[in-house]
Amino acid sequence: MFGLDSWIASFSDGGTLALVCLIAIVLGLRHATDPDHLAAVSTLIAGTRERATGAAARLGLSWGLGHASTLFAFGLPIVLFQRYLPHAAEQAAEVAVGVVIAVLAVSLLVRWRRGQLQVHSHVHPPRRARTPHQAFAIGLVHGMGGSAGVGVLLLATIHDRGLAIGALALFAACTVLSMALLSSGLGFTLGRARVRSAFPAVAPALGLLSLAFGVWYALGALNVAPYYF
């Protein structure tokens, strides 16, 4: 993101096991803070009535596992053979990421419009806007975008294939952890009584911002708008 990952990776000498592992961990833990990930996870968690730490952590973990699966699958050929996705396929993957963000934003706006984000004094049976399986599927799509960039970062500093594969696996595992932690933090925040009661008032702004970001991301991938990722 904006050269930050390249700067972090530049500290690796590509050969020292401890240093390579440390860089992979830092890159993985930072990965969840990319704007596209923040937009996706915020609308993913905010769009469900179960805005609690445990439920958010489960969704975030599932999303992270899906993301890490495709990240590793598409990154492995880069590490082993320096084979990248065709440009058209990479572009389609990035467009799909933007579409997913936009769909999540629309879903949040629809639930807000129907009053499903309101807090009531009486208890309703819990109803999830997204299940862990759906979050996993969303993560699978999201992990395809930017996978080539991850491989390039690792290949630029790691010359031993076994070490590179291990670093890629460690990177993927840390992305799961970072996304679960991010989701847990959002769930904890949105689950607080004061925030929960005020959330319906700010949900439209969150939804519209995420929708605009998703549309811009997709158009950027198509070279129709400026693209910074």
* pLDDT tens, position by position, 100-124: 999 999 988 998 888 877 654 444 4
pLDDT at 229: 60
Q: From its phi and psi, is residue 223 left (phi > 0), alpha (psi between -120 and 50) or beta? A: left
More confidently predicted of 2 and 54: 54
CA separation for the pair 139, 209 (Å, rounded)? 20
On the question of pLDDT at 51 being above 60, the answer is no
Q: From its phi and psi, is residue 97 left (phi > 0), alpha (psi between -120 and 50) or beta? A: alpha
CA separation for the pair 82, 84 (Å, rounded)? 6
On the question of pLDDT at 84 being above 50, the answer is yes
Q: pLDDT tier at 211 (50, 70, 90 boundaries)? A: very high
* pLDDT tens, position by position, 140-173: 988 887 655 666 666 667 778 888 888 889 988 9
More confidently predicted of 134 and 54: 134
